[in-house]
Amino acid sequence: MPLLLVCGLPCSGKSSCVKEFISFLSSQYPAYSVEVVGEENLGLSRECWFESSAYEKESRSSIRGEVERLLSPDKLVIVDSPCYVKGFRYELYCISKQARTPHCLLLSSASLDQVIKWNENRLGVKFREETLRDVHMRFEPPNATNRWDRPQYTFSPDHAPPFEEISQILLHGVAPKPNKSTQNIPLASPSFLMDLEKVTSGLIDVLMKAQAGGVVLDNFSLDKSTEKLSFSRAVSLTELRQARRQFLSYCKLHPVHDPAQISSLFLQFLNTNFS
């Protein structure tokens, strides 16, 4: 069954929208099973999520693992989480693609000022205003031109998304076909991890040297790869290393059959993050 991502700032109405959608499904499509994955049902602290980068990474890893575990032909999985990191949304999209399930995204249109006001009137534990402002600065809004951010619908407390249209996409839509970068193929080479580390590290060295020499990584290609880079800006070593860690984590769970593909797949991943 499909995957629905609910994206937005903290305290922006995501959980309320999820409850409304589940209520709609229960009345219109009672035969379908729904699983919600988020901080609350995984026992994660929403406050710690945004206060600690280490806890945030662990929380995203927990959500990713739970989605991968639950996604199956007989369940609709809803991710009720900020999902404000582009790379994280891409990873979840790849999981749905691998599982051959449709995918859709709901985005809260609440502004920062609205979120701060709602947080002040919230019962129970509240977020610090500085935390909300920090998350807003780091928020990477979904872009409907990206395949992993579409189809995309917005919602607000005064404007519910078209639940029927979304249901048709999720329950009866055509699933994307998995490609080589998302297929979970058994490990073919005992030296796979060594190859993975060596190739990705070498590519980062090449890219940094090219940028140091004044080369713009737009329509840039390497000698042994058909994949071209189309970076929209200069990328720092820290950013490349962070993207490499994300790619390594994904490949360890989803090893590729042919180590010769590592280079092209890593360049594709970099394009996804920096184009």
What range does the domain containing 45 cover?
A: 3-172
Instruction: State whether 118 and 213 are in the same domain.
Output: no
Spans of the chain, pLDDT less than 50:
185-188
CA–CA separation, 65 and 68 (whole Å): 5
pTM beyond 0.75 = no
Specify the pLDDT at position 52.
77
Q: 90-144, pLDDT tens digit by residue?
A: 999 988 888 888 999 999 999 999 999 999 998 877 888 998 999 999 999 999 8
Q: 170-193, pLDDT tens digit by residue?
A: 988 877 766 655 555 444 455 777
Instruction: State whether 37 and 167 are in the same domain.
Output: yes
Instruction: State whether 29 and 146 are in the same domain.
Output: yes
User: Closest Cα partner for 99 from 181, 6, 176?
Assistant: 176
Instruction: State whether 206 and 240 are in the same domain.
Output: yes
Instruction: State whether 238 and 198 are in the same domain.
Output: yes
Cβ within 8 Å of residue 111, ≥6 positions away: none
CA–CA separation, 270 and 275 (whole Å): 8
Contact 25, 32 (CB under 8 A): yes
Domain boundary pick from 142, 172, 202 = 172
Instruction: State whether 90 and 223 are in the same domain.
Output: no
Instruction: State whether 22 and 79 are in the same domain.
Output: yes
Domain count, the chain: 2
Instruction: State whether 67 and 18 are in the same domain.
Output: yes
Instruction: State whether 137 and 242 are in the same domain.
Output: no
CA–CA separation, 223 and 275 (whole Å): 20
In a domain, 182, yes or no: no
